[in-house]
Amino acid sequence: MIFQQKGIMIRQTNYSESSRIITVLTEDGTQVPMMARGFNKPKSPFIVLRQGLKEVLFTYNRFKGIGTLNETDVVQPFKYINNTFSVYTYASYIVELIIRALEEDQQQESFYRLLIKSASLLEDKSTPAAVTAFAAIKMLPYYGGQMNVDECAICGSRDRSRFSHYSFSYHGVICAGCFNEDTGVRSVPVKSQVLYLAGYMKHVALHNVESINITDENGKALLKFVEMIYDEYTGVFFKSRKLIETL
């Protein structure tokens, strides 16, 4: 049977001197392995897959198991991302955040939508660290993590401007009124703007986000905060995170 689906290549391995087996995350959120014959040849028909992040229309045959790739057409080339090293590094981090949570044989359409949304935001020059934080916040539940930034874990206040710390004893934000030497054990100071943004990103629907433009400094602070939550609750480590730190 012939299929035609949009997707993003998420993995590739050499199969022979000239061919590779690639795995595509398709628009319906499934992982499809495909044989790409001639991939490694100089005049490869699949040259568009050689480098960078791209949304591609894949035409392939598949009955059961591995498919055979016939044709590729680029849908979104993400030129700015692929030509800007720092932005590409953030994009790689986002890809890793999303695909590490994929389970074999499970359909995760929302993962695909998050990946395309994040890439589109980066391409449109939203703040890279903030877009990465956004993707990480949306993925957090899939790693079993939690982030409680809506109300003070002690008094229940929802006055976001007063939130001052994130507590790993109370598993949530605490406000300046509740913070003291005792309640502050295992807590870290976090700027109220950062906590506000984290809450916004947690609740906003994907289709309502058209751009994320904040200062680089706040974007990085937000990403650091989310990474701290990941460290505490998930125990997953992302290789790309190391690269980001070298930028």
**Footprint of Zn ion (CB under 5 A):** 152, 154-155, 157, 175, 178
Nearest distance from C-beta of residue 186 to Zn ion, angstroms: 16
Nearest distance from C-beta of residue 179 to Zn ion, angstroms: 8
- The smaller minimum CB distance to Zn ion, of residues 19 and 157, is found at 157
Q: How far apart are CA 180 and CA 170, in angstroms?
A: 13
CB 20 within 8 A of CB 14: yes
- The smaller minimum CB distance to Zn ion, of residues 52 and 184, is found at 184
Nearest distance from C-beta of residue 232 to Zn ion, angstroms: 20
- The smaller minimum CB distance to Zn ion, of residues 29 and 184, is found at 184
In sequence order, the 6+-apart residues with CB closer than 8 A to the CB of 2 are 59, 60, 61, 70
- The smaller minimum CB distance to Zn ion, of residues 82 and 183, is found at 183
What Å distances lie between residue 147 and 111, 204, 236, CA to CA?
19, 15, 16
Nearest distance from C-beta of residue 246 to Zn ion, angstroms: 38
Nearest to 36 by CA among 7, 70, 2: 70
Nearest distance from C-beta of residue 149 to Zn ion, angstroms: 13
- The smaller minimum CB distance to Zn ion, of residues 111 and 170, is found at 170
Nearest to 164 by CA among 196, 194, 192: 192
What Å distances lie between residue 180 and 71, 154, 177, 189, 206, CA to CA?
63, 12, 8, 12, 37
